[in-house]
Structures are given as structure tokens and as C-alpha cells.
Amino acid sequence: MSESVGHFQSRYPELGKGFAYGFGAYLIWGSFPLFISMLSFAPISEVVGWRIIWGFATAALLITLNRGWSSILKVLRNRRLIGWLALAAVLILINWEVYVLGVLHHQVVQSSLGYFINPLVTILLAVVFLGERLRRVQWIAVALGVVAVLVLTLDYGQLPWIALTLALSFGFYGLVKSKLSGEISALNSYAIESLFVIPVAIAQITVFAGGQPLAFGQQFWPSVGLAFFGVMTAVPLIMFGSAAKRLPLSYVGFMQYLTPTLQFIMALVILHEPMPPVRWVGFVIVWAGLGLLISDAVRNIKVVR
């Protein structure tokens, strides 16, 4: 037993740092609803627009400090990589737009649902696009996810489109990123994706202002908040990339549930969003499906001895 533990530690010598980076990233992501709520003085178009611009500025600064522009130029010459990164940029833009809309329209519970069902969407995408075969338990988990969506549709009176859009956009985003695995760093990928959607950000900030004064620049601290949101978009992504290099993939997978859990608790305790009984039923069904996925994953983790 001690021999296998020693072998594990030799494969992952920076396990402690990996957990620190991972928990830090998921805690920051989990705090986003509270932070976005404090930006309600600005329209959604501005919040997302400045998020993109200041996020890119943060990435550009880090790339400059690391003298990494040569690697960026190398990627920009690769048409295949550019195609995948452009698609990733569109998907993450949709995700950001809908997430900010959900939070500012007091739908944090539904937004958290999107990230709870994201693992179920991900395994379905793996079947459809990667030809993976699911075990019986995984199919049961997916079926429970479908039942939960039907129950929540009855509760909301319509499809929970915010949750479904977040789950699908992030699921497809993960699928695209899997095509780039090992070919580009997380920082470079984020920088290029942000660069691609900067024209959209500028258009949102200017066109959707409708001739009204911009929220950014009107007062010092609110402007700092809008800029800081862009910085905090880049930071956890970089931390997550650092964690993924230091931890087994299974550990990273289990940690992903921290973010929607924090958001769900925050929605109930701090933001006081309603949670009628039917909605609880829908969430319990989702959690049951996730419980099956987690237990199945634990049983199938192979420890290299």
C-alpha cells in the first residue's frame, strides 16, 4: 500500500499546489453571482463587453511578462487551430452573455442548474461526437437529467433555457477544447479567444448604449469593478490550468461541482431567490443523477501501482 502511495506521490509531486490552485479557481467562479450583482448599475452588454476587453488585457500582460508572444504568433499561423479557437470563442461568448443575463435577472438558481447538468451534457456529447460507449449507470444518470429538465419545465412554465444554454455552450466548449489538448496553453488559448470576440465587445459597449453615457468612466469605483471583473475572468482560468497540470483528471472532475454548489447556496442564502417545492424536486433528481455519476467514476478509477 505504501509503495502505491509513494508511486502516486512521485507522479504528482505538487499535489498540494494543485489543490490550492483548483480550489482557488472554483471558489472565484463560485463567487461570480455576488460580484456580478454588484455590477447591476451597468447594462448586460457593458458588463460582458468590459469583461472581454479587460480579460484580454490581463492575458496580454501575462503573456508579455512570460515573453510568450512568439508562441501566440505560431498558433495564429495554424489554420486548423485558428478554426477551433474561433469556434471556442463563439461558444464561450454565448456562455458569458447568458450567465451575466441570468445573474442580473435574478436567475442564479437556474444558472447553477446549468453547471450541475453540464456533466450529463458532456457525456452525451462524448457519445454523439466521440463515439464513446456509456455504462448502464451513466445512461440512468442521463435519463434522470432529462426527467429533471421536464420537472423544472413544469415549474418554470417553460424550458429552463438559461440552464440549458449554459450547459450546452460550456459542454460544446469543452468538446472543442479537447480537440486542442496539448497543442496550446490555457493562457494562450484564452488570449486568442478573447481577441477574436473583442470586436463584439466593442460593438456591445457602443451600439447597445443607444446614445446613453457609458457606465464605465462615470464613477471611479464602479469603473474599477467593471475592469476587475475582466481580470477575475482570466485569473481563475489560469489557476485552473495550473491545477490540471498537478492533479489527476478525476480529482479535477470532482472539484467542478464546487462552483454550482456555492452558487446555489449563495442564491438561496444571500440573494434570497425563491425555491418552490417542485423546483426542489427537479434539483434533487439532478443531484441523484450526479451522485450516480460520481459513484460510478469512483468505482472505475484505476490506481496505477
Overall size of the chain counted in residues: 305
Indicate the range of 4-13, 153-162, 240-249, 265-274 predicted with least confidence.
4-13
Task: Pick from 40-49, 91-100, 139-148, 202-211 the range whose average pLDDT is largest.
Answer: 91-100
The answer for residues whose C-beta is within 8 angstroms of residue 208's C-beta and 6 or more apart is 43, 45, 46
Mean pLDDT of 147-158: 90
Residue % of the chain over a pLDDT of 90: 38
In this predicted model, which residue has the larger pLDDT, 300 or 68? 68
Query: Does position 217 have pLDDT exceeding 90, yes or no?
Result: no
Indicate the range of 7-16, 44-53, 63-72, 214-223 predicted with least confidence.
7-16
In this predicted model, which residue has the larger pLDDT, 265 or 297? 265
Q: State residue 210's pLDDT score.
A: 61
In this predicted model, which residue has the larger pLDDT, 217 or 281? 281
Q: State residue 268's pLDDT score.
A: 92
Mean pLDDT of 266-278: 92
DSSP 190: H
Query: Does position 273 have pLDDT exceeding 90, yes or no?
Result: yes
CA distances from 19 to 52, 67, 167, 187, 239 (A): 27, 27, 25, 19, 10
Query: Does position 303 have pLDDT exceeding 50, yes or no?
Result: no
Mean pLDDT of 229-246: 80
Query: Does position 6 have pLDDT exceeding 60, yes or no?
Result: no
Indicate the range of 1-10, 39-48, 86-95 predicted with least confidence.
1-10
Q: State residue 125's pLDDT score.
A: 84
Indicate the range of 38-42, 231-235, 245-249, 263-267 predicted with least confidence.
245-249
Q: Cβ distance 289 to 121 under 8 Å?
A: no
Query: pLDDT per residue over 102-134, tens digit each?
Result: 999 999 999 999 989 888 888 888 888 877 787
Query: Does position 186 have pLDDT exceeding 60, yes or no?
Result: yes
Q: State residue 209's pLDDT score.
A: 62
Quick check: helix, strand or coil at residue 271? Answer: coil
DSSP 214: P
Query: Does position 304 have pLDDT exceeding 50, yes or no?
Result: no
Q: State residue 98's pLDDT score.
A: 95
Exposure letters 86-96 (e unless 16+ CB within 10 A, then b): ebbbbbbbbbb
Q: State residue 112's pLDDT score.
A: 92
Left, alpha or beta for 182 (phi > 0: left; psi -120 to 50: alpha)?
left
Q: State residue 178's pLDDT score.
A: 77
